[in-house]
Structures are given as structure tokens and as C-alpha cells.
Structure 1
Amino acid sequence: MKKLLAALVCAVFSLGASAAGNINAGKALAEKYACASCHGKDYNSPTEATYPKLAGQHRDYLEHALTGYKRGDKGYGRNNAVMTGQVKPLTNQDIKDLAAYFHSLPGTLVTHR
């Protein structure tokens, strides 16, 4: 009985971790797709002023933005040809993993209240 309970607890925690995204998998994806080439090696210093800073950004925002690029939400401002091409091969889990990774990084974003 104890083994069954322990297995259930482990399953719940691993399910929650994948639902939130895997930071290590996100890091590997960011390297594979060369995100730093536009967003800066620390993801805080984009190569152009119009490119957003990704480090420390809210995870749910990043998921929403990447999903928008994947869907081609032109009406919602997600119609950048480069980003659309970058996210096209990503799965929903890949998007969660990338969002978790970028969220985990120290950022320079400032929030105002």
C-alpha cells in the first residue's frame, strides 16, 4: 500500500512538472533553435531594439506569445515571419519548456504597479 501511495505521489509531481515545462529541455531547445542570435546571449540584450527581452519574462505570457506565432494570429500582432518559422516545428510541450526556461533566467524587466 505504501508503494502504491508513493508511486501516485511521484506521478502527480512529475505530471505537474511537465505541465509547467521543463527548464533543461527548454534550454536545449533555445540552443537548438539559436534564440540567442536575435534575443542576445543572455536573453536580456536583443540584437535589435524591436526584439523583446525573454529572460525573466512571465511564463504564461511567453507561452501565449509563442502559441500565437505558431497559430499565425495576425489579428493579434503575432505575424512575424521569422518567429512564425521558428515556432512552427514546436510542440505544445516544447513551448511550455521554452517558456519555463526563459522565465527561470534572471531578467532586467521592471514591473510597475
Structure 2
Amino acid sequence: MNCDTGSAISTVEHIGQSISDILTTRLGTRVMRREYGNLLPELVDQPFNDATRLRVYAASVMAIMRWEPRVSLTRIQLQDASLQDQVVMDIEGRALYLNQALSMNLPLQLGGGA
């Protein structure tokens, strides 16, 4: 189910919606599920250098591997050169239950913008 409209969506669209939620949820903010989420929101104000980029990729891959069991990742990459406002993350891998290749560009709202 689409979280914005309530309409039915495909399994691949649901996986994308789930990954977006995982990557934009700050650790410790979910009641009864304090470990759910990701460190990505903590990295928003860091200088965007090679070390931060590596932390972003590591935090994203670890969170997706833990919280989205329907996916096996092969590549993850940011399209934008910073972590301000909205960024787009390219994700490639495999949808395990569907046994099909998975390629998606997920817009993530990270900054304080609407």
C-alpha cells in the first residue's frame, strides 16, 4: 500500500518505499523498535568528503541488509554531491522473493526542507 495515497502498489514499489523509510528514519525514533532506521540523518551536517561518503554507503547498506530481507544489494550510490535537502540514491541488486533484478532511483528527503 502506498503510504501517501493508500492505493495498491507493486512489490518492487513497496520495496522502494520501505528502503526510503529505512534510510530516512533516525535511529532511536521508533517506539518499540529503537534499533530501526539508519545513521544517514546523523551525517547530514557533516562535511561531504570521501570519509563521509564511505560512512553514508556503509550505514545505508547495513540498514538495508538488516531491515529489508527481500533485497540483496550489489551497488549503492548517491547521485548528488552533498547530503543537503533531497538526494537521489541509486540502488541495484536483486529482489529475492521475485528472483528478478532490481534497479531503482530513490529520492530521499534528508534536510529540513519540505
TM-score by structure 2 length? 0.30
Structure having the higher Rg: 1
Name the one with the larger helix percent: 1
**Relative contact order (C-alpha < 8 Å, sep 6+): which is higher?**
1
Name the one with the larger strand percent: 2
